[in-house]
Amino acid sequence: MKAQTLAKSGGLVVLLVFAVLFPQVFSNPSVTNYGVLALVFATAAVGWHIFSGNTGYIALGQAVFFGSGAYAMGIAARDWHMQATAVFELLPLSAVTGALIAIPFGLIALRVRRHTFIVVTIAIFFIFQLMAFNFWFTGGSSGLGSPFLSWAPVPYNRNFYYIALACAVGAIVIAWLVGRSRFGLQLRAIRDDEDRARGLGVKAMQVKMAAYMISGTITALIGGVWFYYLNQVQPQTGFNPLFDLTLVLMIFFGGYGSIAGSVLGALIIEPLSLWLNTIPALNGFNEIVLGAILLLVLLFMPRGILPTGAEFITKIRTRGRPAVVPATTIGAAPSATPSAPSVSSGGAR
């Protein structure tokens, strides 16, 4: 057990060192571009996991937070005449915007469950896209541009890489803290049987809302980073219907319900899809190829690569041993519960 924990933390340190060194080793901006966008999606995927992965409520309206974070930054930078690196001070504003939008969004969507919840999140998503197209302060269909950053291409990408990495690590830490806390336990109880959880004193609406707000905060924050990185946002890119689809595909690809799976899915799918875009022969077909790869993976690893891979490793390691230790039935084995008599400490005879 201890060796396992050690191996795990060792692995994490190696991963983190690799992540930190990546832009130093591969300084080519077209390579670091992959890194920045992969980390943006990894952060968003972890944000999705905190709410949807834990509660089982499949949210397809995360682009609402992503786009709102981007727009909040763009609008504030424009109206407050902010320049260059000072714009980064607006990132907390993006995050708060996400949390605030999650409140009315959640009050509507979290009243319903399952398929209805999915449909409601999609509907709200389209309302936001329409608002971005039509409000006077959002720049209409041409969207918003960001202030200019006078960094050369190499440090430009590298700096954004580290900002995105910090966001991703922060999101992972939050997700981990949520997962091990009683809050996370309540979220997973809601996933298994919400009504039963309520009957055991779980304030389901409050707990779901809190998780949704955390999720919205993280997604909006990374939306702000993404906006400043690309220097622009339009209604159809900020509030992109493919955003949520991509996010969910990444998570189901990597492993639904686990932090590592969500991150892994994003780190594989996003660079892959960017790379497919660059192949001239695939021009126009790249999304079909990506779709086919995803379908194949889902066909052979329906629970995602991480859980299926872990099962495979366990299978190899435990080959020859019985899969399940035979359990004795309760009534038949009184001798197996030697502690039973001493336990009725509530005043037993």
Among 177, 245, 279, 295, binds other proteins (CB under 8 A): 177
Rounded distance between C-alpha atoms, residue 339 and residue 11, angstroms: 40
Q: How many residues bind other proteins (CB under 8 A)?
A: 38
Report in angstroms the alpha-carbon separations of 216 from 86, 89, 266, 308.
Answer: 24, 19, 18, 29
Q: Which stretch binds other proteins (CB under 8 A): 45-53, 245-253, 278-286, 329-337?
A: 329-337
Q: Which stretch binds other proteins (CB under 8 A): 70-78, 91-99, 314-322, 337-345?
A: 337-345
Is 287 a binding residue for other proteins by CB under 8 A? The answer is no
Closest approach, Cβ 201 to other proteins, in A, equals 3
Closest CB to other proteins among residues 235, 261: 261
Rounded distance between C-alpha atoms, residue 75 and residue 62, angstroms: 20
Q: Which stretch binds other proteins (CB under 8 A): 58-66, 101-109, 187-195, 294-302?
A: 187-195
Closest approach, Cβ 203 to other proteins, in A, equals 6
Question: Based on the number of CB atoms within 10 Å of its own CB, is 95 exposed (0-12), middle (13-18) or buried (19 or more)?
Answer: buried
For 157-187, give the DSSP string: HHHHHHHHHHHHHHHHHHHHHHHHSHHHHHH
Residue written as token pair 């995927």: 45
**10 touches 215 (CB < 8 A):** no
Amino acid at 257: G
Closest approach, Cβ 347 to other proteins, in A, equals 5
Closest approach, Cβ 328 to other proteins, in A, equals 9
Instruction: Return the DSSP state at 202.
Output: -
Among 4, 199, 300, 323, binds other proteins (CB under 8 A): 199
Given the rule CB under 8 A, which residues bind other proteins? 177-178, 180-183, 185-186, 188-189, 191-193, 195-204, 327, 329-332, 336-337, 339-340, 343-348
